[in-house]
């Protein structure tokens, strides 16, 4: 009788522990955390291994079981535009951001980029003018200019310039992919994801609990530093990731969802922050990664 009671108690405890945890993500309860570190990881989307994260499907694969076929960045922005979830300000996760708020922030980034270019042009122009104080181009009247309006070039611009702009439309982009009102290419170079690395004392194993995914703006001219645009809570975007495909470069029959890719960690990333302490070099990032791995290997089992 006592043996049956003990067995029944153990089964009840095991079932209660299983129900208290998320069956999909296997996140342990806070009281089951024996050890925990908050890690910020950086994914370079330009690496060959990470390219399938932003790969777009071509026209021959129009029929697909996946609703999203344009990569993780496009999927997140499209979900935000449709109102499936909200984004959050990188400076304060308590401040939510709508799609329009994100667009305004992108305009600020682009404005700062244009400001840098204009200041550079002004400095270059001022230096150019200093060498021609006496005469030079300032005294040129333009009467003998072969490109003056008298030769017809000005009339051609007046006749076709406005019509050409109207035909292209407001959202037309000739050298990039259009996402609503802005180009997603500056955001398809780098993303960050924040996770808790937890040692679960009930299962005696390390669990990776992803909390946030951060979109990073990168300067196309590679002169300005990277800027965080917005943050998405992982639990909010799980459904979107489940409906977005990960394109297998080697086998069309083995496509995966982006959620599977994050669960299986089929990408390359490196650590840039551990529990609030920044990592400045790739060598240090590799040392930190090895330390986390060795901690799990050397820890005793319950």
Task: Return the pLDDT at 276.
Answer: 92
Identify whether the C-beta of residue 215 lies closer than 8 Å to the C-beta of residue 230.
yes
Percent of the chain with pLDDT over 70: 65
Task: Return the pLDDT at 87.
Answer: 96
Letter string b/e over residues 214-239, b meaning 16 or more CB atoms within 10 A of that residue's CB: bbbbbbeeeeeeeeebbbbbbebbbe
**pLDDT tens, position by position, 22-81:** 444 568 888 889 899 999 999 999 999 999 999 887 766 656 677 788 889 999 999 999
Task: Return the pLDDT at 172.
Answer: 39
Task: Name, of 124-138, 158-172, 266-280, the range with top average pLDDT.
Answer: 266-280
**pLDDT tens, position by position, 178-194:** 454 567 788 999 999 99
Task: Return the pLDDT at 225.
Answer: 87
- What's the mean per-residue pLDDT of the chain? 75
Task: Return the pLDDT at 109.
Answer: 83
**pLDDT tens, position by position, 239-275:** 999 999 898 878 878 888 999 999 999 999 999 999 9
**pLDDT tens, position by position, 76-112:** 999 999 999 999 999 999 999 999 999 999 888 877 6
| Interatomic CA distance for residues 38 and 195, integer angstroms | 6
Residue 141 has pLDDT above 70, yes or no: no
DSSP-based three-state secondary structure for 298: helix
pLDDT category at 168 given cuts 50, 70, 90 is: very low
DSSP H stretches of helix in 82-180: 99-130, 153-168
Instruction: Summarize the confidence of residues 138-158 as an average pLDDT.
Output: 45
Q: 94 versus 166: which is more confidently predicted?
A: 94
Residue 145 has pLDDT above 60, yes or no: no
Model confidence, pTM: 0.69
Residues 6+ positions from 240 with CB-CB distance below 8 Å: 68, 75, 76, 79, 84, 85
């Amino acid at each position: 009788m006592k043996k049956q009671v003990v067995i029944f108690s153990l089964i009840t405890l095991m079932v209660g522990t299983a129900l208290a945890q998320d069956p999909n993500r296997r996140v342990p309860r806070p009281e089951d955390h024996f050890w925990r570190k908050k890690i910020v990881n950086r994914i370079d989307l330009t690496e060959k291994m990470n390219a399938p994260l932003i790969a777009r499907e071509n026209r021959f694969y129009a029929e697909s079981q996946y609703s999203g076929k344009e990569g993780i960045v496009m999927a997140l922005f499209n979900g935000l535009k449709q109102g499936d979830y909200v984004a959050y300000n990188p400076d304060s996760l308590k401040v939510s951001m709508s799609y329009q708020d994100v667009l305004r922030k992108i305009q600020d980034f682009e404005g700062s980029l244009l400001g840098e270019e204009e200041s550079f042009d002004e400095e270059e122009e001022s230096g150019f003018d200093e060498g021609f104080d006496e005469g030079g181009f300032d005294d040129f009247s333009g009467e003998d200019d072969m490109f003056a309006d008298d030769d017809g070039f000005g009339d051609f611009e007046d006749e076709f310039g406005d019509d050409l702009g109207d035909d292209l439309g407001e959202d037309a982009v000739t050298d990039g992919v259009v996402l609503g009102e802005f180009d997603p290419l500056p955001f398809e170079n780098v993303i960050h994801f924040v996770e808790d690395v937890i040692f679960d004392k009930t299962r005696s194993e390390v669990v990776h609990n992803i909390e946030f995914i951060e979109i990073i703006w990168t300067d196309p001219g590679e002169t300005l530093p990277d800027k965080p645009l917005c943050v998405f809570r992982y639990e909010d975007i799980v459904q979107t990731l489940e409906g977005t495909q990960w394109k297998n470069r080697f086998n069309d029959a083995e496509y995966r969802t982006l959620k599977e890719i994050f669960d299986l960690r089929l990408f390359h990333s490196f650590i840039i922050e551990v529990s609030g302490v920044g990592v400045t070099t790739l060598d240090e990032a590799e040392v930190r990664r090895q330390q986390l791995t060795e901690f799990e290997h050397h820890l005793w089992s319950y």
